[in-house]
Amino acid sequence: MQFIKPDINLNFIGKRRLAYVLSLALVAISFFALIVHKGPKYGIDFAGGTVIQVKFTSPVKIDDIKSGLGTLGLAKSSVQQFGEKKDNEFLIRTESAEDISKESSAQLEKALASVNSGQVEIRRVEMVGPQVGKDLREKALFAMFYSLLFITIYISGRFELKWILSAVVAAALIGATYLTRMLHVSIPVLILAALIASLIIFWFLELKYAMGAIVALIHDVTITVGIFSIFEKEFTLPIIAALLTIIGYSLNDTIIVFDRIRENLRKHHKNTMEFVINRSINETLSRTILTSGTTLIVVVALVFLGGGIIHDFAFALMVGIIVGTYSSIYVASPILLAWQGRGRKK
């Protein structure tokens, strides 16, 4: 199905400087939000503690719930609305994973029922120790970093036939991060330094397709994380799964455009690189809109109709699909033009 004329010629590359400004602004806002909030808001999976989901049969105020918890020595617990207001469901979080285990469910129900004329139901109790949360947080960061390195090998091998070179670079970076980790360096700082080092190495080794793809993926993940920080949404294991899904989705869209660029470089070798990239984006535009549009419809339905349990997961996918589609056109492809200017200087 192709609902866009095949001879369409929108000047995407001509607007790349405006897109660069927009992308830099979004990335800067994302970093600013993370700095203001002192990093991401970690959920129980990464921060450790206990989370209890309760449902009341009649409306109740958060302050009343806290007063009921105070009778059990849990006055410092945080309480927030879960789902729609009419559902009367709340999430109770404590910093310790042992507080609730020492109290029976019956005592907790009694304490919460005392602040409300109706009944209360404990629907879910999850406990994660602080050390487990720390380990999960570190493994999640390394999972995203290693996925980017393996993507580098694939992109460089497929589009530039530099399988061995890219594999050696990836292995060296993995080894360097492993050795540096033994020096007890902060994991987020280590991953950030490794990503910067990766981009510098890609530039000097002229792995242009890999660099374009990686910059676009970092762009997508950073903006998604920033939006989560702005709305003060929690980072849990499902959100990490959503970020890895976004990486895969955005990469797939980028590969489609890169593949067409490679074909058009042979067909239109007498034309400029700017012409080839712009033509390639226009030729794949119909496929991009169809794929992103149909996927977005499903994800939007999950955001508004899927319920509180998967709301944040679906929200992350929605943001990632929009930003990923944008980056495939305005971030990944225009980066290839940087090598054209570099070649002229040489």
Task: Say if residues 239 and 316 touch (Cβ distance below 8 Å).
Answer: yes
> What is the residue whose two structure tokens read 């139901």?
121
What pLDDT does residue 107 have? Answer: 76
Q: Given this model, what pLDDT does residue 9 score? A: 79
pLDDT tens digits for range 28-75: 999 999 999 888 888 777 777 778 888 888 888 888 888 877 777 776
Phi first, then psi: give them for residue 123, nearest 5 degrees: -95, -25
> How far apart, in Å, do the first and last CA atoms of the chain sit?
44
CATH fold of 49-128: Alpha-Beta Plaits (3.30.70)
Cα dihedral angle (171, 173, 179, 182), rounded to 10 degrees? -120
Query: Looking at residue 115, what is its pLDDT?
Result: 75
Share of the chain above pLDDT 90, in %: 16
Q: Please, are residues 86 and 177 in contact by the beta-carbon 8 Å criterion?
A: no
Q: Across the strands, what pairs with 234?
A: 41
Closest to 151 measured CA to CA, from 237, 228, 221 = 221
Tell me what pLDDT residue 59 has: 84
Look up residue 208 and give its amino acid.
K
Span 196-221, mean pLDDT? 88
Rounded mean pLDDT, 327-335: 88
Distances in Å between the alpha carbon of 40 and those of 116, 298, 331?
34, 27, 25
How, if at all, do strands 89-94 and 78-82 pair? antiparallel
Phi and psi (nearest 5°) for 158? -75, -40
Q: What pLDDT score does 196 carry?
A: 87
Q: Is the dihedral of CA 105, 110, 111, 113 positive or negative?
A: positive
- Whether 314 has a pLDDT exceeding 60, the answer reads yes
Q: What does the alpha-carbon distance between residue 103 and residue 109 come to, in Å, rounded to a whole number? A: 10
Check pLDDT > 80 for residue 229.
Answer: yes
More confident residue, 206 or 72: 206
Q: For position 345, what pLDDT does the model report? A: 52
pLDDT at 94: 77
- Tell the residue number behind the tokens 């070179």, with chain if given: 165
Q: Cα separations (Å) of 304 from 217, 297, 308?
A: 26, 11, 9
pLDDT at 160 over 90: no
Can you give the pLDDT at residue 315?
94
For residue 102, pLDDT over 60 is answered with no
* Per-residue confidence (pLDDT) for residue 225, from 0 to 100: 92
Which segments of the chain belong to CATH 1.20.1640.10?
A: 13-43+132-345
Which of 14-18, 74-78, 137-141 shows the lowest mean pLDDT across its residues?
A: 74-78
Q: Provide the CATH number for the domain formed by 13-43+132-345 in this structure.
A: 1.20.1640.10
**Model-level pTM?**
0.83
Ordered DSSP codes for 214-276:
HHHHHHHHHHHHHHHHHTTPEE-HHHHHHHHHHHHHHHHHHHHHHHHHHHHHHHTTTS-HHHH
Span 178-202, average pLDDT: 83
Q: Is the pLDDT of residue 344 over 70?
A: no
Residue type, position 275, single letter: F
Q: Specify the amino acid at residue 252.
A: N
Condensed to tens digits (0 to 9), the pLDDT of residues 109-127 reads 777 777 776 688 888 877 7
Please list the residue range(s) of the chain that carry CATH number 3.30.70.100. Answer: 49-128
